[in-house]
Amino acid sequence: MKLRPATIDDAQLLLDWRNEPLTRAMSVNTEPVGWEIHLKWLSARLARSEPGLYICENDGSLCGMVRIDDDEISYIVDVNFRGKGLATKMLVLARHHFGPKRAKVKRGNEASAKAATAAGHTVEYIKD
């Protein structure tokens, strides 16, 4: 498993992951994101000196995304790879590269909280 920096070529993939129904339900903002807004956000993000946006590859397959914002970590696992322990592996890899972070998790999303804790990150529960 490896993390690679996201590029503008990942725009559609990242938008698809972001708009997947369960991902939206577990996000702070549960509304779908449109293409133009996403592209504007991604372009600005990638223009930063340290974008903190990574694509996770496992055995050649793109399986998720990790985003680092200061002391906070966010992540998405592709729907086709969920339930296989990849979230914990992604988060361990991120901790190895960036140190322990804070993961904001909605109450009831125990799988995410468990993965973040197992990977050595701190869980902060947020309101639904």
CATH number at residue 21: 3.40.630.30
Amino acid identity, position 31: E
Whether the full predicted model's pTM is greater than 0.85, yes or no, is yes
| C-beta of residue 43 within 8 angstroms of C-beta of residue 55 | no
Amino acid identity, position 3: L
Residue written as tokens 């890899």?
93
Q: Which of 75, 64, 72, 66 is nearest to 100 (CA)?
A: 72
Low-confidence ranges of the chain (pLDDT < 50): none
Number of structural domains found in the chain? 1
What pLDDT, on the 0 to 100 scale, is given for residue 116?
Answer: 97
Burial of residue 121, with CB atoms counted within 10 A of its CB: 0-12 exposed, 13-18 middle, 19 or more buried: buried
What pLDDT, on the 0 to 100 scale, is given for residue 127?
Answer: 78
What pLDDT, on the 0 to 100 scale, is given for residue 89?
Answer: 96
What pLDDT, on the 0 to 100 scale, is given for residue 128?
Answer: 66
What pLDDT, on the 0 to 100 scale, is given for residue 98?
Answer: 97
Q: Which residues constitute the domain of residue 15? A: 2-126
